[in-house]
Structure 1
Amino acid sequence: MSAQQWTQPAGEPADQARPGRSGTCRPADVRRAVRHAVACRCRATGTRCDEEALSDALLVASELTSNAILHGGGVTGVDVDVVGHEVRVSVCDRSDRLPVAVAPVDEQGRRRAGGRGWPIVCRLSCDVRVADLPTGGKRITAAVPVF
């Protein structure tokens, strides 16, 4: 069951594109798509979602989207699917660079401001895949159990 699927139109700036019908592709838009996909599955099957696990999936969606915006040259596509007991969030960006975990402190022992997003995604997801896209860039897919 696919709740949202979006690919950025050619020539449209990343900050003007988003999943759905209006607005920009922001973390909030992807979180909304995750909530919608899970709610649809719950209604269709009569199952209950684990609210704590749903919170984990929403955090993963936020981190993937934020990382694509901050480090990947912008979001070029988003897919949210519910498969079995998992919600799978895929975010595409323009960069071919693989995500990396950064130490929380620098060489002088000072705490870094960022660098926690990728470890959060990896810790909360039961499966994370990074794939190159044929037109350049990459797709990161994270699966989080929610049922």
Structure 2
Amino acid sequence: MCEKHRTESVERYRRPCQPAEARRAVERAVAERCRVTHTTCDREALGDALLVASELTTNAILHGGGITDFRVDVGEPGVRVSVSDRSDDLPVAKEPFDPRGRRRLGGLGWPIVCRLARDVRVTDLPSGGKCITAVVPLF
């Protein structure tokens, strides 16, 4: 189970080891915000946020050398998910077919993130690696 630490308005969780842990952290942060503000969010929008969190953590695990930091912030524009990893490489979308015409596995996560999020930023970290932050509208 993720352990949370409050830092300003950002919920900071222990680094998830699996995408499911990232999804649970987002669900808890959204549920807490809705409880405190007596608001509801669109279930479909929450599903989009969970998918974005899952894709970002999966990509960090598979292609980024592992997750080095994970943050969730729920505010007026929606849910902001930030995932840091060890790689300096920028995320890329792969063509669905290789040069021989065979269907490739994977390569769809980054386009999904870019399609569902309102704002996506990739920031180089001073110690190496990068942080990807995506904001998904909820309200």
- Say whether the fold is shared (TM-score over 0.5): yes
The whole-number CA distance in structure 2 between the counterparts of 1:44 and 1:50 is 17
- The partner residue of 1:2 within 7, 10, 13 is 10
The whole-number CA distance in structure 1 between the counterparts of 2:33 and 2:41 is 9
AA aligned opposite 1:80? V
What does residue range 1-147 of structure 1 map to in structure 2 within 5 Å? 1-3=9-11, 5-6=12-13, 18-19=14-15, 25-147=17-139
Whether the 8 Å contact between 1:96 and 1:132 is mirrored in structure 2 is yes
Give the structure-2-normalised TM-score.
0.90
AA aligned opposite 1:102? K
RMSD: 1.1
SS of 1:140 mapped into structure 2: strand
The whole-number CA distance in structure 2 between the counterparts of 1:80 and 1:62 is 13
- Structure 1: stretches of 5+ with no match in the other structure: 7-17
- Structure 2: stretches of 5+ with no match in the other structure: 1-8
AA aligned opposite 1:27? P
* Cα deviation, residue 112, structure 1: 0.3
Give the structure-1-normalised TM-score.
0.86
SS of 1:60 mapped into structure 2: helix
- State the aligned residue count: 131
SS of 1:44 mapped into structure 2: helix
The whole-number CA distance in structure 2 between the counterparts of 1:106 and 1:114 is 12
AA aligned opposite 1:45? T
Fraction of identical pairs, as percent: 67
